[in-house]
Amino acid sequence: MNGKILGIVAVVLVVLGGWYVFQGTPAQAPAATTPTPATTTPTTATAPSVTITYTNQGFSPESVTVPSGATVTFVNQSSNKMWVASDPHPTHQGYDGTTRSQHCAAGYTGPAPFDQCSAGDSFSFTFIKIGTWGYHNHGAPSNKGSITVTPPTPI
């Protein structure tokens, strides 16, 4: 009888051992992967550079529209002096809120003015404030124009 019990125990152990070995996690088919779109950070187009010439007839073009961050360069091609100044004449406080006597003073450290501060052959300014900003030639204030600054365009 001991032999029978030992035989039954042996069979049970073999069955349980086989079940344990072959039970494991059944093989699974690889999961289908769906490509996920890359996360992108919105970017903006590179701000352009615009040139406005000053001739004996005035500024050309008089008015331009640029995205924020664009640099506008005024180039004197006239026989007269060019002194690009922000409106209104004669205070020049339209863009940054300070007067010409303030932002053209030695040691001024406030916001960047849209004002050349003295006559010259060229003047470049990078616009960051959204809005329409008038300008004129300080030496000939009837020669004027405007720069309209828009938010940058996302690409």
pLDDT at 80: 93
Q: What does the alpha-carbon distance between residue 98 and residue 111 come to, in Å, rounded to a whole number?
A: 9
* Residue carrying structure tokens 């406080």: 93
Does a structural domain hold residue 100? yes
Task: Classify residue 26: in a domain, yes or no.
Answer: no
Does residue 40 lie within any of the structural domains?
no
Look at residue 87 in the predicted model and tell me its pLDDT.
95
Cβ 100 vs Cβ 92: under 8 Å: yes
pTM: 0.68
Note whether residue 133 is domain-resident.
yes
Domain that holds residue 103: 49-150
Q: What CATH number is given to the structural domain containing 110?
A: 2.60.40.420
Residue 122 forms part of a structural domain:
yes
Question: Is there a domain that residue 78 lies in?
Answer: yes
Q: Cα torsion at 76, 110, 64, 153 (round to 10°)? A: 140
Question: pLDDT tens digits, residue range 70-97?
Answer: 999 999 999 999 999 999 999 999 999 9
User: Which of helix, strand or coil describes residue 57?
Assistant: coil
Which of 89-107 are b and which e, b meaning 16 or more Cβ less than 10 Å from the residue's Cβ? beebbbbbebebeebbeee
| pLDDT tens by residue, 2-45 | 666 655 655 555 554 554 545 555 555 555 555 555 555 555 55
Per-residue pLDDT at 153? 76
Number of domains in the chain: 1
- Tokens at 155, concatenated: 């690409």
